[in-house]
Amino acid sequence: MKIAFDAKRIYQNNTGLGNYSRTLVQSLAQKFVENDYYLIAPKITTRFNAAAYPHCHVVTPKGFFLQKIKGWWRSCLVKNELKNYKIDIYHGLSHEIPFGIQYTGIKSVVTIHDLIFERYPEQFNRIDRIIYRYKFKNACKHADRIIAISEQTKQDIIDLYKIDEKKITVCYQSCDANFYQPVADAEKNAIKKKYTLPDEFFLYVGSVIERKNLLSICKAMLMLPEANPIPLVVIGKGGKYLREVKAFVQKNNLSNKIIFLYESIDKNQSLEFKDFPAIYQLATAMIYPSIFEGFGIPILEAMASNIPVIISNVSCMPEVGGEAALYINPSQPAEIAKAMQSIVENKTLASTLRAKSATQAELFDAEKCAAKVMDVYLNLMHDH
């Protein structure tokens, strides 16, 4: 088969959608070498090296004119390229497919990660909401198959967009394979030194936005006994909500207990993704009290890193955490504090959670996730 991917996020996105796209394409290219994979990329960066995979081909806009209208090329004009390359299946890896692809004879698949902008419209600006709704609805209506990243997202697509559930397959995502590898002590010590990390710390990873609910962890920190001095390390950027969190931290004298890593590191340094597995593995536990997610990849990264996770008991998070997590009500800081304290005080609980994390993370290993996606492609080709 010749399979094309919308590769914009592969090259241009450093967070969730980019990680999903890179991990999936790498896994498919390594495991299913009988196919050819075409990366449709408006712009190339160093985030992905397609040359490492003999069956990967990169397609970029050719000529001065198309270079000037890359966005339009990606979302519409690229159909000509797909026909020239005789593509069998086009996979939109993040919520969209080229407009009019249904008239080309090329099969299409779209991955829908979440419909959070529909559930929490107040957290998105109006123009973005209009664009997202137009693109997402077009993709759900016209793609031959929809991949939902969790049962929660599948249900949202059915409820909010009235799509026939027969068209939707749940294919969980994986995370970067490096999280599954134990980091050597010497390397961990080097990373600890590089970022001036404390001996013990709780970890929060994710954008600092209202839905991800960092403020509740800060409130929980106030409830911890004085005898528990373990700080919280925050890896994530934000705007208005981050300022709100910082104001709370300042007002409640928590500045020595909450470390915003992006700001505490040396100005000449950047926080590198390749160091994340070591940072996770150094942590006492990861806390993710999000109010709503499409999947919640930091949960999987933490479990693959064999550390205890404290996560919300809502949305898709129990799907990801299974029996390996401590669950809390995200709107109850006291519950978060209690879970944090129990991991510190109860060593047996902490080691049980570590063991369960490792087992649970195996369910989401990249090969299994890629095989599930390949099944979607094969069934689609078989049906027609």
Q: Is the pLDDT score of 129 beyond 90?
A: yes
The dihedral region occupied by 36, where left means phi > 0, alpha psi between -120 and 50, and beta the remainder, is beta
Burial of residue 16 (number of CB atoms within 10 Å: 0-12, 13-18, 19+): buried
Q: Which of 35-39, 70-74, 207-211 has the highest mean pLDDT?
A: 35-39
Once rounded to an integer, what is the mean pLDDT over residues 321-348?
96
pLDDT in tens, 27-64: 999 999 999 999 999 999 999 999 999 999 999 998 88
pLDDT in tens, 354-369: 999 999 999 999 999 9
Q: Which amino acid makes up residue 212?
A: K
Supply the pLDDT for residue 265: 78
Q: Is the pLDDT score of 68 beyond 90?
A: no
Once rounded to an integer, what is the mean pLDDT over residues 79-85?
94
Once rounded to an integer, what is the mean pLDDT over residues 101-127?
95
- Sequence-separated (6 or more) residues with CB below 8 Å from residue 81: 40, 59
- Comparing 160-174, 219-233, 296-310, 365-379, which segment has the lowest mean pLDDT? 219-233
Percent of the chain with pLDDT over 90: 86
- Give 353 or 71, the one with higher predicted confidence: 353
Once rounded to an integer, what is the mean pLDDT over residues 280-305?
96
Q: Is the pLDDT score of 384 beyond 70?
A: no
Q: Which tokens sit at 242? A: 């981050």
Q: Which amino acid makes up residue 190?
A: A
- Comparing 68-82, 128-142, 150-164, 255-269, which segment has the lowest mean pLDDT? 255-269
Side by side, the strands of the sheet bearing 285-288 are 258-260, 232-235, 202-205, 285-288, 309-312, 325-328
pLDDT in tens, 189-206: 999 999 999 999 999 999
Per-residue buried b or exposed e for 61-90, using 16+ beta carbons within 10 Å of the residue's own CB: beeeebeeebeebbbeebbebbeebebbbb
CA distances to 87, 168, 299 from 104, rounded to whole Å, are 10, 22, 39
Q: Is the pLDDT score of 268 beyond 90?
A: no
Q: How far apart are CA 40 and CA 106, in angstroms?
A: 15
Once rounded to an integer, what is the mean pLDDT over residues 224-233?
85
Q: Is the pLDDT score of 270 beyond 90?
A: no
Q: Is the pLDDT score of 228 beyond 80?
A: no
* 23 contacts 59 by C-beta, under 8 angstroms: no
Domains in the chain, CATH or no CATH each: 2-174+366-383 (3.40.50.2000), 177-362 (3.40.50.2000)
What pTM did the predictor assign?
A: 0.90
Name the β-bridge partners of 285. 202
Q: What is the mean pLDDT of the chain?
A: 94
Once rounded to an integer, what is the mean pLDDT over residues 110-125?
94
The separation between the first and the last C-alpha atoms of the chain, rounded to the nearest angstrom, is 14
